[in-house]
Structure 1
Amino acid sequence: MITERRNDIDWLRVIAIGLLLIYHVAIIFQPWAMFVGFIRSDELMEGLWKPMTMLNVWRIPFLFYVSGMGVYFAIRKRNWVQLLTERSKRILIPFVFGIVAIAPLHFAVFQEYYNLPLGYYAHPAHLWFLGNIFAYVLILLPLFYYLKKIEGGRFMKGLSTFMSNPLGPLSVSVFFILETVIVRPQVFEMYAQTWHGFFLGFLAFFFGFLFVYAGKTFWQTVLKWRWLYLGMAVTLYGIRLVVFELKSPGYFMAFESHCWILSVFGFGYKYLNKPSNILSYLSQAAYPVYIIHMFVLYSGAVIILPLGIPVMLKYISITVFTTIGSCLIYEFIIRRIGFLRPLFGLKWTFNKFQDAKNAVETVGSIRKK
């Protein structure tokens, strides 16, 4: 069983959430932004969508892959009760809290910006991702613990051998292609709260677990063939851009998505598998920042969009505002006030004196600013 800390997986999770912030800001400058519930800029940058759509075909499936890998590491030292308890604290509680207390905040900003009647609107919004993950844990838990029980047996050895060939990891894309053929999503990139998003996420979560379960063979393969996977991904994106004008069939995008993901795993394994104090901090910050970022993004849009500055500068400004604002809320509020920590997936702090001290420091910091 793998025992070493996989820093590359932690880094990739952090980077993926960072890319998510950049992507969400880009939506503001697209003509269909209001269709998906975003504030829309009067000045558009439709050309910005070409690089964003390259990112969009793999960013969400990738996060599900990484989440499945995380479950593999989590079950090494936990029985099923401990795992469910841990995942409930880390995922279910923030998901429920986010629905009732966080998502309504950015809906309120949206209503105020467009002079709509203010109303409370509990909704999963961008947190649908957390709800899916918890559902996958519940569904796949018996299978995962069975695989743990037979680890080292014929199945694991056969899987490891299969993953030693570059076609092994690549062949998994067949399942994602079948998903698009069976579910037939109208828009491949429409993951949120759709059956397409649920089944695609389920497959990515499951195979993420299996990739790590296969042992070092998988990682050695994606490391060795990372340039092949990247070349295939770039070629497929080029075809989608030039031939299909970004409107390629779902099965085509599913294959492209998988090539991107395998190349990212390969490059991440080569360059990012190193410990870092910055990584330790960012790993803890990732989920709280993800949970709060939409409220900060909408607030930034309200402040920055009316300014008389070039549209590209508006995009950059909102991106910086969202990133810094989300990190400041995490550092000075979520992280430092004990009773808030479990609501954002962080460990509870039992030191009441320290909690009070942190709260005072937070108020002091705000007053100084």
Structure 2
Amino acid sequence: MERRYDIDWLRVIAIAMLLIYHIAIGFQPWGSLIGFIANDEPIPNLWIPMGMLNVWRIPLLFFVSGMGVFFALQKRNWKQLLGERATRILMPYGFGALVIVPIHVAILFKHYGLPFSYRPSPAHLWFLGNIFAYVLLFIPLFYWLKNRPETSFANTIRKLFSSPAGFLIIALLFEAEALLVQPSPFEMYALTWHGFFLGMVAFILGFLCVYSGCRFWQNTLKWRWVLFTVALILYAVRLLHYELVGPNELMAIESVAWILTAFGFAHKYLNRPSRLLSYLSAAAYPIYIIHMAALYFFSYLIFPLAWPVWLEFVAVVVLTFVACYALYEWPIKRVSFIRPLFGLKKLDK
């Protein structure tokens, strides 16, 4: 199998979007209501682009995770895959919940003058538990598809996802999830049944899209401008008519349109190796694990300074990213026994 650099890039981009999104929450008037350190002077207009990202940032991550399982299965049997996923997912998940998350919770309590309380929680790492659950649930199906590529079922999947009808199937499954679960609001994914079931749908679809072969990607490439136009129109309707909180059915279709648009443009422009991608691909996961602690720390320091609000936003963005990359470079990247706690392999001796 050829390495798909566009999928690697999408994983990096999805995690970067999550970082920016979390920083933006601190500049919304309701940020403190969902456990963030909120600035006394909000930037409401910042939520206009964040509202666009909100309906597809998490489903995209689950799509990419399902695609990653497909590629991992090409080189591993099911026992090796489960062992590798347990090490890469469960260890950072447990360490993060027990050690990393309580750090940013302690900073939050300090900022709001609350007594310290040790609070282990998955918090922003919730999706790791979901991904491992999906691997356990669907590894028999995925392994069966891998070993029986010429069955009528496998051929039907490839045929469906190799045509534009595959786009319709993805949209219908997203729509069915929205109708059955009735999330409120649609973009509330963390630790909800909506996040679990939508993530599961996206995870399976990610696997099947890659399984279907190159025609799926050729279709996203061919139709990328149409998909982008549909996504933009639906977002404009949601923004102008519904003030960003549209009906679940509308937001589900918009989510699919943005995700397929991302696949098409990434396949066109990003499917090539680079040193930057190699670095970011390794760094993205550990940086995501630690970013909330860095974000809360710099919010705690900067928000009381009463700087111009946009300067505070830029300062928090820059300092959070710089601190995360510094911590990644040392000790996470260079200390062998620490690496597995952040999803990295131990250094070769």
Q: Same fold (TM over 0.5)?
A: yes
**Aligned ranges for residues 340-355 of structure 1 at < 5 Å?**
340-349=338-347, 351=349
CA distance in 2, matches of 1:172, 1:67: 16
Is 259-268 or 331-340 further displaced after alignment?
331-340
CA distance in 2, matches of 1:27, 1:136: 29
Secondary structure at the residue paired with 1:288? helix
**Aligned ranges for residues 156-175 of structure 1 at < 5 Å?**
156-175=154-173
Amino acid at match of 1:197: G
Secondary structure at the residue paired with 2:304? coil
Amino acid at match of 1:64: F
CA distance in 1, matches of 2:333, 2:160: 44
What's 2:89 paired with? 91
Deviations 1:149-186 (A, max 9, x none): 11244333333332333232233111111111111111
Would the aligned equivalents of 2:161 and 2:212 in 1 still touch at CA under 8 Å? yes
CA distance in 2, matches of 1:169, 1:23: 27
Deviation of 1:31 (Å): 1.3
Deviation of 1:7 (Å): 0.5
CA distance in 2, matches of 1:264, 1:349: 34
Deviation of 1:242 (Å): 1.2
Equivalent of 1:115, from 113, 116, 125? 113
Deviation of 1:350 (Å): 5.0
CA distance in 2, matches of 1:210, 1:272: 21
- Say whether 1:187 aligns with 2:185: yes
What's 1:217 paired with? 215
What's 1:314 paired with? 312
Secondary structure at the residue paired with 1:306? helix
**Aligned ranges for residues 135-174 of structure 1 at < 5 Å?**
135-174=133-172
CA distance in 1, matches of 2:124, 2:162: 37
CA distance in 2, matches of 1:129, 1:316: 27
CA distance in 2, matches of 1:223, 1:156: 24
TM-score normalised by the chain length of structure 2: 0.98
What's 2:299 paired with? 301
Would the aligned equivalents of 2:92 and 2:341 in 1 still touch at CA under 8 Å? yes
Deviation of 1:313 (Å): 1.2
CA distance in 2, matches of 1:343, 1:190: 27
Would the aligned equivalents of 2:162 and 2:212 in 1 still touch at CA under 8 Å? no
Would the aligned equivalents of 2:162 and 2:213 in 1 still touch at CA under 8 Å? no
Would the aligned equivalents of 2:11 and 2:61 in 1 still touch at CA under 8 Å? yes
What's 1:196 paired with? 194
Q: Which consecutive unaligned segments of at least 5 residues does structure 2 have?
A: none
Deviations 1:39-74 (A, max 9, x none): 010001111111101001000000000000000000
Amino acid at match of 2:320: T
CA distance in 1, matches of 2:38, 2:150: 53
Amino acid at match of 1:47: N
Equivalent of 2:21, from 15, 20, 23? 23
Secondary structure at the residue paired with 1:286? helix
Equivalent of 1:266, from 264, 267, 272? 264
CA distance in 2, matches of 1:170, 1:314: 43
CA distance in 1, matches of 2:236, 2:333: 43
**Aligned ranges for residues 332-347 of structure 1 at < 5 Å?**
332-347=330-345
Would the aligned equivalents of 2:102 and 2:121 in 1 still touch at CA under 8 Å? yes
Q: Which consecutive unaligned segments of at least 5 residues does structure 1 have?
A: 352-369
Equivalent of 1:73, from 59, 71, 74? 71
Cα 1:164–1:80 shift into 2, 3 Å: closer
Cα 1:32–1:308 shift into 2, 3 Å: closer
Deviations 1:10-34 (A, max 9, x none): 0111111111111111000111111
Equivalent of 2:43, from 45, 55, 62? 45
Amino acid at match of 2:173: F
RMSD between aligned alpha carbons?
1.1
Deviations 1:291-327 (A, max 9, x none): 0000000011011112232111111110111111111
Secondary structure at the residue paired with 1:305? helix
CA distance in 1, matches of 2:280, 2:36: 27
CA distance in 2, matches of 1:245, 1:15: 26
Number of residue-to-residue matches in the alignment = 349
Amino acid at match of 2:147: K
Would the aligned equivalents of 1:163 and 1:221 in 2 still touch at CA under 8 Å? no
CA distance in 1, matches of 2:169, 2:128: 27
Is 27-36 or 160-169 further displaced after alignment?
160-169
What's 2:6 paired with? 8
CA distance in 2, matches of 1:35, 1:305: 17
Would the aligned equivalents of 1:170 and 1:258 in 2 still touch at CA under 8 Å? no
What's 2:238 paired with? 240
CA distance in 2, matches of 1:151, 1:322: 46
Amino acid at match of 2:94: V
